[in-house]
Chains A and B, each alone.
Chain A
Amino acid sequence: TQLLEQSPQFLSIQEGENLTVYCNSSSVFSSLQWYRQEPGEGPVLLVTVVTGGEVKKLKRLTFQFGDARKDSSLHITAAQPGDTGLYLCAGVRGKGSQGNLIFGKGTKLSVKP
């Protein structure tokens, strides 16, 4: 059973379009992170959300943590080719052990010029 479900798995859009990707679970997480991974490289942390209902903005990217801390979304406004990559969410269950970090399978985004 996949604890963190990401959707969609693949997304191909034109430059300038808006998009939202989702990260859902039936479990409660103490915090949730979003990473972006480009081909041939390791994931890079974009943001951590901690409080239920929290919204964080990073330029054209808006991250939201659900009120119940079971889900999160990433919205990109006016996507650019540089946004292309694999977007991963990762949830932290409990505290005190790195073994409790769970990754979703990712959403592969392609933004065409």
Chain B
Amino acid sequence: NAGVTQTPKFQVLKTGQSMTLQCAQDMNHEYMSWYRQDPGMGLRLIHYSVGAGITDQGEVPNGYNVSRSTTEDFPLRLLSAAPSQTSVYFCASSRDRSHYEQYFGPGTRLTVT
């Protein structure tokens, strides 16, 4: 099993550009989520999904969109990148609603100039 995979590993965007961060898991997990990690702020939840076709907002959803068309994939879209979105982004999955243990991907380091 590859676990949770994320692409790209690094990305530089200009302000106003859009892009999609990819996330996939091969563990047949129902739950998937996106976090951003900033110095001094810890991990903050952006969006999450409890299953294919179902998504919900987390703590910091503004400027981001998600969709969950399959169990395996949970892409995160930045609609119009801003410098405030410079961060390290982590995708995570967990088995189901009664198991909160998260399996994290390796992260995407995004810089917006």
Contacting residue for B56 out of A90, A96, A99, CB 8 A: A99
Secondary structure class of chain B's binding surface, majority of residues? strand
| A48–B42 touching, CB < 8 Å | no
Q: How far is the CA of A78 from the CA of B58 in the complex (A)?
A: 39
Q: How far is the CA of A92 from the CA of B100 in the complex (A)?
A: 8
Q: How far is the CA of A96 from the CA of B100 in the complex (A)?
A: 9
Secondary structure class of chain A's binding surface, majority of residues? mixed
Q: How far is the CA of A43 from the CA of B88 in the complex (A)?
A: 12
| A98–B48 touching, CB < 8 Å | yes
Q: How far is the CA of A97 from the CA of B54 in the complex (A)?
A: 12
State the Cβ distance, A11 to closest chain B Cβ, in Å.
16
Contacting residue for B42 out of A31, A95, A99, A104, CB 8 A: A104
- Sort chain B's interface into a size bin: 20 to 34
B73-107 CB mask vs A (1 if < 8 Å, else 0) is 00000000000000000101010011011111111
In the assembled complex, 12 residue pairs joining A and B whose CB atoms fall closer than 8 Å, in A order, are: A2-B42, A33-B102, A41-B107, A42-B4, A42-B105, A43-B104, A88-B43, A96-B98, A98-B48, A98-B50, A98-B97, A106-B42
> CB within 8 Å of B: which residues of A?
2, 31, 33, 35, 40-45, 48, 88, 90, 92, 95-99, 101, 103-106
> CB within 8 Å of A: which residues of B?
4, 31, 33, 35, 40-45, 48, 50, 56, 58, 90, 92, 94, 97-98, 100-107
